[in-house]
Amino acid sequence: MDPEMDSQLKIGFIGAGNMAYGITKGILSGNVLPVNIKVSAPSLRNLGRFQELGVSITHSNVEVVCGSDVVFVAVKPHLVPLVLNEISQHVTDRHIIVSVAAGITLATLEELLPENSVTVRLMPNLPCMVQEGALLFARGSHAKEEDGALLRSLLHHCGLVEEGPEAWIDIHTGLSGSGVAFVYLFAEALAEGAVKMGMPSALAHSIASQTVLGAGRLLRDTGKHPAQLRSEVCTPGGTTIYGLHALEQGGVRASTMNAVESATERARELGRKSAAEGRK
């Protein structure tokens, strides 16, 4: 995708929550100018921070659609049918409609929009806000390869961007969307362990966050399997293997797998509910 094309694109966001904000920050660190982005929300509560980025704001979803080439629908899942019903008559074949609502299927999107609408289902995560997100998207039946390439080009400053079949989106929600919170829980527990052993809380939390960051970067940048890196930290009879034994006794591995499974199943359940709502 030609970077010059990115700079000419008009981008719209319906919804002004954290996901919309994170993606906007990522897009702005590329070639898109603030003047080419417009965000709508019913109240001013979340719009102020977009104004600080130099982005246009409005209360009109229709205004966003009419002035955009790519429209991100970034509202809560239960509001998606209402929003799509409101904007559908203004959606043309020049638009790419990107849903970032958990559980909303491509079939639901296509059902609620005009025939032949170009739809994409995208699941980002909160670290998009610091350009370290993990984003997975699936193309609808009318979205071409070049639409996927355009989206990749647009979003690559947000972090890792991958494309896959729609069946993976709910799994990605459980793994990465919700997984961020699982990592925070672990980081909090790491720090609390240090506090228990006598370290001041502020220092413990600072070191825990750096430990999570450093471990993640090493995992990503070396490309090694986590088990390999873990074994490299373990010396026979050393501190780490004693700590790992305690974690295994606590069932941390099984609990984490269960957490991803539960979050994935919840995403699927939300999708079924939303599909039923859309058909009403």
Within the chain, what is the greatest distance between any pair of CA atoms?
68
* Residue 248 included in any domain: yes
| pLDDT value of position 273 | 77
Q: Are residues 10 and 122 in the same domain?
A: yes
14 labelled as ligand-binding? yes
| Residue labelled with tokens 């499974």 | 261
On average, the pLDDT of the chain sits at 92
Cα torsion 131, 50, 36, 73 to 10°: value is: 80
* Residue 268 included in any domain: no
* Residue 173 included in any domain: no
DSSP annotation string for 236-268: TTSHHHHHHHHHHHTTHHHHHHHHHHHHHHHHH
77 labelled as ligand-binding? yes
177 labelled as ligand-binding? no
pLDDT in tens, 210-255: 999 999 999 999 999 999 999 999 999 999 999 999 999 999 999 9
Query: Confidence class of residue 272 from pLDDT cuts 50, 70 and 90?
Result: confident
Mean pLDDT (whole number) for 6-19: 89
Q: Are residues 12 and 95 in the same domain?
A: yes
Higher pLDDT, 183 or 77: 183
**Range 78-85 contact pairs with CB under 8 angstroms and sequence separation of 24 or more:** 78/273, 78/274, 78/277, 80/104, 80/108, 80/109, 80/112, 80/274, 80/278, 81/108, 81/112, 81/274, 81/277, 81/278, 83/14, 84/109, 84/112, 84/113, 85/112
| pLDDT value of position 1 | 45
Compute and round to an integer the Cα radius of gyration of the chain.
Answer: 21
* Residue 276 included in any domain: no
17 labelled as ligand-binding? yes
123 labelled as ligand-binding? no
Tokens of 142: 């009318």
| pLDDT value of position 46 | 87
Range of the domain at 103: 3-165
87 labelled as ligand-binding? no
* Residue 20 included in any domain: yes
* Residue 160 included in any domain: yes
- Residue 216, domain CATH: 1.10.3730.10
In the predicted model, is pLDDT for residue 2 greater than 70?
A: no
Burial of residue 239 (CB within 10 Å: 0-12, 13-18, 19+) is exposed
5 labelled as ligand-binding? no
Higher pLDDT, 130 or 72: 72
* Residue 233 included in any domain: yes
Number of domains into which the chain is organized: 2
| pLDDT value of position 149 | 95
Q: Are residues 14 and 139 in the same domain?
A: yes
| pLDDT value of position 8 | 82
- Contact predicate 66/7, CB 8 Å: no
* Residue 61 included in any domain: yes
Q: Are residues 47 and 147 in the same domain?
A: yes
276 labelled as ligand-binding? no
Mean pLDDT (whole number) for 155-174: 94
CA distance 179 to 184: 9
Query: Confidence class of residue 103 from pLDDT cuts 50, 70 and 90?
Result: confident
251 labelled as ligand-binding? no
pLDDT in tens, 48-61: 899 999 999 999 99
| pLDDT value of position 210 | 98
Q: Are residues 131 and 16 in the same domain?
A: yes
Strands 37-40 and 56-58: parallel
